[in-house]
Amino acid sequence: MPKVLVSDSIDKTGIDIISQVAQVDVKTGLPAEELVKIIPEYDALMIRSGTKVTKEIIEAATQLKIIGRAGVGVDNVDVTAATRKGIVVVNSPEGNTIAAAEHALAMMLSMSRHVAEANQSVVSGKWDRKKFIGVEVYKKTLGVVGLGKIGSHVAKVAKAMGMKILAYDPFISKERADQLGCNLVDMDLLVQESDYITLHIPKTDETYHSINAETFTKMKPTARIINCARGGIIDEVALAEALKEGKIAGAAIDVYENEPLEAESPLRELGQKIVMTPHLGASTAEAQVNVAIDVAEQIRDVLLGLPARSAVNIPGMYPDTLEKLKPYLLLAETLGNLVSQLAGGRIDFLNVRLQGDLATGDSKPVVVAALKGLLSQALRERVNYVNASIEAKERGIRVVETKDASVRDYTGSLELEAKGSLGDHIVRGALLGEDEIRITNIDGFPINVPPSPYMLLTLHRDLPGIIGKIGSLLGSFNVNIASMQVGRKIVRGDAVMVLSIDDPLPEGILTEIIKEPGIRDAYTVAL
Can 230 be counted among the known catalytic residues? yes
Contacts of 421 (CB under 8 A, 6+ apart): 345, 346, 347, 348
Can 279 be counted among the known catalytic residues? yes
Closest C-alpha to 250, from 276, 223, 269: 223
- In order of 136, 175, 462, 475, the CA distances from 158 in angstroms are 12, 19, 73, 76
Q: Which of 114, 230, 300, 428 is catalytic?
A: 230
How many residues belong to the chain?
527
Radius of gyration of the chain (CA): 30
Cα separation, 172 vs 145, in Å, equals: 11
Cα separation, 504 vs 439, in Å, equals: 20
Return the exposure string of 357-382: e unless at least 16 CB atoms fall within 10 Å of the residue's CB, then b: ebbebebbbbbbbbbbbbbbbebeee
Q: Which of 214, 259, 269, 286 is catalytic?
A: 259
- In order of 483, 487, 518, the CA distances from 455 in angstroms are 10, 15, 20
Contacts of 523 (CB under 8 A, 6+ apart): 341, 342, 344, 456, 457, 458
Judge contact between 430 and 412, C-beta under 8 A: yes
The distance of Cα 520 from the centroid of its chain, to the nearest Å, equals 45
Return the exposure string of 258-287: e unless at least 16 CB atoms fall within 10 Å of the residue's CB, then b: eeebeeebebeebeebbbbbebebbebeeb
Q: Which of 48, 279, 300, 460 is catalytic?
A: 279
Cα separation, 436 vs 222, in Å, equals: 63
Cα separation, 284 vs 116, in Å, equals: 19
Can 259 be counted among the known catalytic residues? yes
Contacts of 198 (CB under 8 A, 6+ apart): 104, 108, 142, 143, 144, 145, 151, 154, 225, 226, 227, 228
- In order of 66, 201, 228, 462, the CA distances from 103 in angstroms are 30, 15, 7, 73
Catalytic residues: 230, 259, 279
